[in-house]
Structure 1
Amino acid sequence: MIYRQKTVVAAGLSMLAAACVANGPKVPSESSVRSATVQAESLPLVRTMDERFQSFQLGFSHLTGGDTWVAYDKMPPEAVKERQYTGNLSAVREPRAPTDLSNRRFRNLVAGLGPLYIRYGGTTTNTVYFQDNDDPKLTEAPAGYKTVLTRKRWREALDFAKAVNAKIYTGFSVGHGVRNEAGLWTPVHAKAWLDYNKSIGGEIYAAELFNEPNMEGHGDDRLGKDYTQREFARDYAIFRKFITEADPRIKLVGPSDVETGGGSMDGTPGTADYLTAEPRPKFDIISYHFYPAIAERCAGPDSPRGIKVENALSEEYLARQDAPLEDRKALRDRFAPGAPIWNTETGGAACGGTRWQTSFLDTFRFIDTQARLAKAGMDAIFTHAILSGSNGVIDEKTFTPNADYWAALLWRKLVGTQVLDAGPTKPGLHVYAHCLRGTPGGVTLMAINLKPSTATIKASASAEVYALTSPDLMSKTVLLNGKPLELRADDTLPAITPVKQDGGSVLLAGHSVSFIALPNAGNPSCTSAL
C-alpha cells in the first residue's frame, strides 16, 4: 500500500504547512514549489448551478430493509471469486435492517449539508411494495415484490427530509408485481403511494420510473436481461401520463441508466438509446449514473474495469467523469433543450465503493468530481451514499462522519452557486473557483494538491484558509488546519474556523484539499449571496 509508506512524510508536510500559514509563511522559490496564480477579482463567470447541487442518495433499503453490499472486513476472498467468475451477486451482499431516521446525530450531520436533494433510490426501489394500511408491517412482500414500505415508514421519510432541508427524489416499482397480463407497467403501486402521500401533505419533488433500466434484472429476475429500450419507452409513456394526472408538480427524471468507466459495458443500452426510443420519452431532467470504476466485489483491482489504490489520485482516473457529461449535454441539447442534467448516482466505484472510499484518500476524488462537473455543466450530483458501511459519507453503524463528510460540509459552507473560471487544471494541482456563499463579491477557491510535495496559490486578496489533511491517507481522520475534526459530545458539529492570512501566497500541504475563501475579492460576477 504505497500511501502508508508515505505517511510520515505526508503528516510532516501537513503540520508544517499548517504552522506556516498560521505564522505567515516564507514561500519557497518558484523553482522548488509548484504554484498557481489566481486573479480572483476578475475571474469570469462560467455558469450558475442548482443551489442543491451537492446532493446524496439514501438507498431505499434504508427505509424498508433489504440487501446491501457486504462490508470489506466481512467479505471472504472466495465470495469475490464467486461473484467475479459466476455472476452470483448474492455472494457479496448482506441483509440490512431499516435505518433509524430519528437518530439525533444522523439528523445533525445531514442537516449540516442542507439544502440538498435526497434520492430515496437504488435497486430496492424497483421492487418495493407500498402497504396501504396502518396494520403491522407484512412479514413477507407479496408475490412480484421484494420489500415492503409501510405508511409509517414513509411518514418518517418525509419527516426526515423536512428536518434536514431536503427535497425528495424517488422511483417506483417496475417489476412483475405491477405488470398486467400483457407485460405493461401499471400504476397499481404508484397510485396508492401517491394518493397517501398527498393525503398527508407530503411532497415529492422529482421521480423516475426505473433505477438503471440497462442493468440486467432491474432488481426483479423475472424481467430478465431482454427488457429493451423500446419497452422502457412504452412503459414510460404510461408512467408520464399517470404522473401528469396524479401530481403534475413532480418533475420527471430519466432515463437513469448506468455507465462505468475503465472498460466496456458489454453492449448494454445507454442514454442515447432511451432518448431515441419510440414513443419518444420526454424528461424534465436528464439523468444518468456514472462510476469511474467497478469495486473489487465485482471486478478485481487488476481488471481493466477495476481501480488500484496506487491510481486513486491519477489524472486519468479523476478525468473519467468528463466524457460522460459531455455526451449527455449533447443529447440534452438535441432532445430536451434547456433541461437540467443530473448525475443521480456516483461514487468511487460501482458495487459498493472502493476499499478506501471512507478514508481521506477518497476526498480528493469527491471534491474534484463535484468541482469539475459543476464547471462543465452539471446541475446536481448525487453521491452514493449519504449513509453506508463502505461508501457513505456517514457510517451507517455508528452515524459518525467518514472523511468525505468534512469536505462536503466545507463545500456547503463556502461554495456558492456561481461557477467561475480559474483556468485549466495543472497536473497534480487542481484549482477551481466559485463565488463565496453568503458574501457578495467574495470568491472561494478549491485547491486540490494531489502530490506529496507542497504547492502554492498566489492570490492578491486576504484569505481565510480551510486546509484539510490527514495523518494517513488511508485513515478516516481529517485535520482542519492541523486539528482533528470531531463531533461534539452532544452530537453537534464542531466550530469550522479558518486560518486568516493577508494577501499573498497560500502554502498548500502535500496531499491536501484546501478551501480558500477570499471575502474581499470584489468579483463583479459574485453579486448574489447564494
Structure 2
Amino acid sequence: MKYTNIALLLIMAFFNVNAFAQNTPQNNINLKEMRFIGKVDERFQSFNVEMCEVIGGDFWIPYPLIDSVRKTSNKKGIDALKWKIEPINLYEKKLRNLAAGLGPTYVRVSGTWANAVYFQNNDEAKLSSPPKGFKNILTRQQWKGVVDFCKAVDGKLVSSFPISNGMRDENGKYQPTQVKAILDYTQSIGGEISAAEFFNEPSHASHGDAPKGYNGNDFAKEFDVFKSFVSKSAPYMKIIGPGSTGESILPSGLDISIDKLLSPAPKPNFEVFTYHYYGTVSKRCGGGQTPEKALTFEWLSRTEKGLEFYQNARDKYMPNAPIWLTETAESACGGNPLAATYIDSFRYLEQLGRLAKKGVQVVMHNTLARSEYGLLEHDTHNPRPNYWAAFLWNKFMGNQVFEAGSLEAGVDIFVHNLKNKSKGKTVLILNTNNKSTTINIPSNAKQYLLTADELLTKKVSLNGKMLQMKANDELPEINGINIKKGIVQLPAQSIMFLTFSK
C-alpha cells in the first residue's frame, strides 16, 4: 500500500509538471532566425536642452510648488503653471559627464522660446530688453556655452530660428538677418549647427510667437527665403522640418495642418522629415494619465500611432526622406510626476525600440535636465531612472535593427547589434507584467537587469546593486553577470539587457 501511494504521487507530479509546462509561455530566443530590418543613425538616442533653459525664462513649475507659486503670481491660464528659471550652467562637470555618457548624440536647442529670441551679436552687457518684435535675448556667452557643451559631450548641435515680428522689415517681409548672425558667430568660435528646423512647431504657430494670422502660404514663402539663404551661407547644415506636432494624437491648439503647411507653392522640402510626439498632456494641463495605464499595451504602443500619421505625410510629400522625432517625452506640459520615476523607463525604452523597428532614424528626448520629464533632476542633476535606461541603451544597443518576433503578452523584445563590436547582438526584454517569467536563451550571455522596489521610485538597481554616481561626479562602471544558455528568470516589472558576443 505504501509503494502504491508513492507511485500515485509520482504519477500526479508528472502530470502536474506537464500541466505547468503547457501553461507556461515558451519565451524562446533564436538569434539566428532574426531578420535584419535596417539601420538607425549612430546618434539615434538624443536629447533637447530647451532655449528657455539656455537663456532663462518661464518654464514648468515643479508639482510640489504649483500652489505656493500661484498664490504669489498674477499670471493666468497656462502661464500660471510656469515660473522663472535661471540659465543652465552648461560648463558644470557633473552635467557634462552625464551628457557624455549618452554620446555620440544630437543636442537640440529649440522650443517655443527660440521662436522669439533675439541674438545679441556683441560682447557688451546684456540689453535690458529685447528689440521690438522679440521677447527674449540670447547672448554670445550663452550660445558659446551651447557650442562648448556640444563639443565636450560628443554632441552635434540641432536648432531652430526666430519667426516673430522682429524678423521682418518695415514692409512685413521676412529677413534672415538673425539667422546669419547666429550662423556666423557659431562658425567664428569653431562650432557648427549640424541641422536646423525653420522654426519650432509651425503647426501651433499662434502659440509660438508667429505673426498674427500666420498660415501655410506664409510658411511656404518664408521657408523658401530661409532655404535659399542657408543653401549659400551654410550648405553644411541640414534643413529639417517641419517639426509639426499633435495631429491624430493631441490636435488641441492646432493652427496649421500638415497638408496646409506642405501643399502651398513654393513647395517646402526638407532633407529630413521631422515631427514631435507627446502621447498625452500632463496633469498640469488637465491630463488624466495614471500609473495603472503606464504599463498598458495601449500606452506603450501609442508612439507608433503618432508616427503613423506623420510617416504617411512624409510618404505623401517627401517620399523616402529620413524621419526624425525631434521632440518627445512622457507627456506635454512638463511631464507627469511619474515621468521622473522607474515606471516611465518602460515607456522610454519601448519608444526607442518600437520606433527603431519602424525606421525612425533619430529620437530626441525632451529634456536633459528640466521639469518632471527631464532625464536628470533639475536642481541636483542626479540621474533619474530614465537616465539609467538611456545610459544602458547607449552602451549596448547598436544601430543595426533586427526583427525579434514576439514573446508572451506583456513581455516585449527588441534586438540590435552589440554596439561597437564586429559581431554579436543585444537583446532588450521588458516584462510589464506583475509576475515573473522565464526566457530560454540560445547561448551564454551577459545580463544587465534593471529592477526597483516599487514602480514609482527614483531608485533603480542594476543586477541587484543600486545605480548612482561616484563621489567625484563620475559615472559608475557597468558590469554584467555571466549567465549560461538555457532558462533565465525575468522578474516582474523588470528590464533586461542581454549581450551575446557571437
Question: Do Structure 1 and Structure 2 share a fold, with TM-score over 0.5?
Answer: yes
Q: Would you say the 8 A contact 1:414–1:517 is kept in 2?
A: yes
- How far apart are the structure 2 equivalents of 1:418 and 1:504? 25
Q: Would you say the 8 A contact 1:259–1:270 is kept in 2?
A: no
- How far apart are the structure 2 equivalents of 1:138 and 1:237? 31
Q: Would you say the 8 A contact 2:133–2:164 is kept in 1?
A: yes
- How far apart are the structure 2 equivalents of 1:33 and 1:72? 43
Matched, 1:208 2:197: yes
Assess, with a 3 A threshold, how the Cα gap between structure 1 residues 93 and 277 changes in structure 2: closer, same or farther: same
Q: Would you say the 8 A contact 2:27–2:407 is kept in 1?
A: no
Question: Which residue matches 1:37?
Answer: 28
- How far apart are the structure 1 equivalents of 2:76 and 2:243? 23
Q: Which runs of 5+ in 1 are unaligned?
A: 1-27, 302-306, 521-530
- How far apart are the structure 2 equivalents of 1:433 and 1:182? 56
Question: Which residue matches 2:158?
Answer: 169
Q: Would you say the 8 A contact 2:246–2:254 is kept in 1?
A: no
Mean alpha-carbon deviation: is it higher for 330-339 or for 490-499? 330-339
Assess, with a 3 A threshold, how the Cα gap between structure 1 residues 142 and 152 changes in structure 2: closer, same or farther: same
Question: Which residue matches 1:394?
Answer: 376
1:90-489 matched pairs, under 5 angstroms: 90-220=79-209, 223-224=211-212, 226-259=213-246, 264-265=251-252, 268-301=255-288, 307-424=289-406, 426-489=408-471
Shift of 1:185: 2.2
Give identity over the alignment, percent.
35
Assess, with a 3 A threshold, how the Cα gap between structure 1 residues 77 and 313 changes in structure 2: closer, same or farther: farther
Amino acid paired to 2:211: L
Assess, with a 3 A threshold, how the Cα gap between structure 1 residues 487 and 443 changes in structure 2: closer, same or farther: same
Shift of 1:34: 4.3
Kindly provide the CA deviation profile for residues 152-199 of structure 1, in whole angstroms up to 9, marking residues without a partner as x: 221111111000000000011110111223433211211111122222
Assess, with a 3 A threshold, how the Cα gap between structure 1 residues 78 and 118 changes in structure 2: closer, same or farther: closer
- How far apart are the structure 1 equivalents of 2:407 and 2:226? 43
- How far apart are the structure 2 equivalents of 1:385 and 1:266? 22
Amino acid paired to 1:272: D
Mean alpha-carbon deviation: is it higher for 453-462 or for 375-384? 453-462
Question: Which residue matches 1:509?
Answer: 491
- How far apart are the structure 2 equivalents of 1:280 and 1:44? 38
Say which SS state the counterpart of residue 193 (structure 2) adopts. coil
Q: Would you say the 8 A contact 1:254–1:286 is kept in 2?
A: yes
Q: Would you say the 8 A contact 1:260–1:292 is kept in 2?
A: no
- How far apart are the structure 1 equivalents of 2:326 and 2:300? 18
Q: Would you say the 8 A contact 1:448–1:514 is kept in 2?
A: yes
Assess, with a 3 A threshold, how the Cα gap between structure 1 residues 186 and 218 changes in structure 2: closer, same or farther: farther
Assess, with a 3 A threshold, how the Cα gap between structure 1 residues 271 and 438 changes in structure 2: closer, same or farther: same
Kindly provide the CA deviation profile for residues 228-266 of structure 1, in whole angstroms up to 9, marking residues without a partner as x: 122111111111011111111100011111116655436
Mean alpha-carbon deviation: is it higher for 209-218 or for 363-372? 209-218
Assess, with a 3 A threshold, how the Cα gap between structure 1 residues 380 and 263 changes in structure 2: closer, same or farther: closer
- How far apart are the structure 1 equivalents of 2:95 and 2:45? 18
Question: Which residue matches 2:3?
Answer: none
Q: Would you say the 8 A contact 1:393–1:401 is kept in 2?
A: yes
Kindly provide the CA deviation profile for residues 41-70 of structure 1, in whole angstroms up to 9, marking residues without a partner as x: 231100111000000001011211111111
Kindly provide the CA deviation profile for residues 310-343 of structure 1, in whole angstroms up to 9, marking residues without a partner as x: 1111111111111232333333233323321001
Amino acid paired to 2:175: T
Give me the TM-score of the superposition, normalised by structure 2. Answer: 0.92
- How far apart are the structure 2 equivalents of 1:471 and 1:440? 37
- How far apart are the structure 1 equivalents of 2:254 and 2:125? 44
Q: Would you say the 8 A contact 1:170–1:204 is kept in 2?
A: yes
Q: Would you say the 8 A contact 1:261–1:293 is kept in 2?
A: no
Q: Would you say the 8 A contact 2:25–2:408 is kept in 1?
A: no
- How far apart are the structure 2 equivalents of 1:143 and 1:99? 26
Q: Which has the larger radius of gyration?
A: 2
1:78-97 matched pairs, under 5 angstroms: 88-97=77-86
Mean alpha-carbon deviation: is it higher for 187-196 or for 136-145? 136-145
Shift of 1:268: 4.1
Assess, with a 3 A threshold, how the Cα gap between structure 1 residues 35 and 128 changes in structure 2: closer, same or farther: farther
Q: Would you say the 8 A contact 1:261–1:320 is kept in 2?
A: no
1 or 2 for the larger relative contact order (CA 8 Å, sep ≥6)?
A: 1
Amino acid paired to 1:508: L
Moved over 4 A (4+): 31-35, 77-80, 260-264
- How far apart are the structure 1 equivalents of 2:251 and 2:141? 43
- How far apart are the structure 2 equivalents of 1:430 and 1:341? 24
Assess, with a 3 A threshold, how the Cα gap between structure 1 residues 70 and 266 changes in structure 2: closer, same or farther: closer
Say which SS state the counterpart of residue 293 (structure 1) adopts. coil
- How far apart are the structure 2 equivalents of 1:29 and 1:115? 46
RMSD: 2.3
Q: Would you say the 8 A contact 1:271–1:288 is kept in 2?
A: no
Mean alpha-carbon deviation: is it higher for 445-454 or for 325-334? 325-334
- How far apart are the structure 1 equivalents of 2:21 and 2:422? 33
- How far apart are the structure 2 equivalents of 1:218 and 1:288? 17
- How far apart are the structure 1 equivalents of 2:165 and 2:24? 61
Q: Would you say the 8 A contact 2:202–2:242 is kept in 1?
A: yes
Assess, with a 3 A threshold, how the Cα gap between structure 1 residues 63 and 444 changes in structure 2: closer, same or farther: same
- How far apart are the structure 2 equivalents of 1:355 and 1:263? 20
Shift of 1:150: 1.2
Assess, with a 3 A threshold, how the Cα gap between structure 1 residues 37 and 188 changes in structure 2: closer, same or farther: same
Kindly provide the CA deviation profile for residues 394-431 of structure 1, in whole angstroms up to 9, marking residues without a partner as x: 11210110110001011011000000000146431111
Q: Would you say the 8 A contact 1:212–1:218 is kept in 2?
A: no
Q: Would you say the 8 A contact 1:462–1:518 is kept in 2?
A: yes
Say which SS state the counterpart of residue 166 (structure 2) adopts. helix
Kindly provide the CA deviation profile for residues 111-152 of structure 1, in whole angstroms up to 9, marking residues without a partner as x: 010000000011111011111111122232222212211112
